[in-house]
Amino acid sequence: MKKVILIVALLVTSITFAQNKNAKASIEVDGVCGMCKDRIEKVAIRTKGVKSAVWNIDTHELKLIYDERKTSLTTISKNLASVGHDTKEIKATEEQYQSVNPCCKYRDEDVKKDHKNEKGNGR
């Protein structure tokens, strides 16, 4: 009986202490178009530990499912910045930002305006 309790206790604690394998998060990533979407999702999914990444053009929301034991939002944000995309946590450096395609220059008001029209076009 004791053994059973021990096992149960062990299981319970291990569950409590185990970090979430399927942690869900939603972070804001700056970007403007379908090309940005491609770039954002690719770099996110290529981060070890990220299981699913879906970015929404309209809301700038990146929905993530990731293994907390293997990665963190900071790592993901860093990787996003490395390809030129800003998150709340980490801003891309000017150099990194310049690496994005001219039409994806989301910091540029004109480019933003350009893409406003595309919204809801299913891009």
Partner 1 sequence: MKIYILIILTFLSIDVFAQEQLKGIVLETSSSKELPLQGANVYWLNSTIGVITNEDGTFSLPYKFSYNKLVISYVGFKTDTITVTESKFIKHVLKASDELDAVTVTSRKQATSKSYLKATNTLFVSSDELLKAACCNLSESFETNPSIDVNFADAVSGTKQIKMLGLNSPYILITTENIPAIRGASQAYGLTFIPGTWVESIQITKGSGSVVNGFESIAGQINAELVKPSTDNKLFVNAYAGVNGRLELNTHINQKVSDKWSTGLYLHGNLRNQKFDRNNDTFLDIPLKEQINVMNRWQYINGEKGIVSFINLRYLNDNTQSGQMDFNPDLDKGSTNLWGSEINTERFEVTTKLGYVNPEIPYQSLGFQTAFSHHKQISYFGLNLYDIKHNSFYSNLVYNSIITDSRHNIKTGLSFTYDHYDELVNTDIYERTENSVGGFFEYAYDDLDKLTMTAGVRLDQHNRLGFFITPRLHLRYTLWGKSALRASVGRGKRSANIFAENQNLFSSSRQINISNSGGKIYGLDPEIAWNYGVSYLQGFNLFERKADVTFDFYRTEFQNQVIVDWENPFEVNFYNLDGESYANSFQLEFNYNLFDGFDIRTAYKYYNIKTDYNSGQLEKPLIPKNRVFANASYETSIKENESQWKFDATYNWLDSQRFPNTDLSSVQLRLPEYSPTVGTLNLQITKVFSSKFEVYLGGENVTNVRQPSPIVSADNPFGSNFDTNFVYGPIFGNMYYAGLRYRVK
Give the H or E element holding residue 110. Answer: helix 109-116
Q: Which of 13, 19, 20, 52 binds partner 1 (CB under 8 A)?
A: 52
Sign of the dihedral defined by the CA atoms of residues 59, 65, 67, 68, in that order: positive
Would strands 23-28 and 50-55 be described as parallel, antiparallel, or unpaired?
Answer: unpaired
Question: Facing residues of 64 across strands?
Answer: 25, 53
Is residue 101 part of the contact set for partner 1 (CB under 8 A)? yes
Residues that bind partner 1 (rule: CB under 8 A) add up to a total of 25
Residue of the chain from 40, 53, 62, 92 that contacts partner 1 (CB under 8 A): 53
Pick one of 13, 20, 22, 56: the residue that binds partner 1 (CB under 8 A). Answer: 22
Q: Is 51 in the site for partner 1 (CB under 8 A)?
A: yes
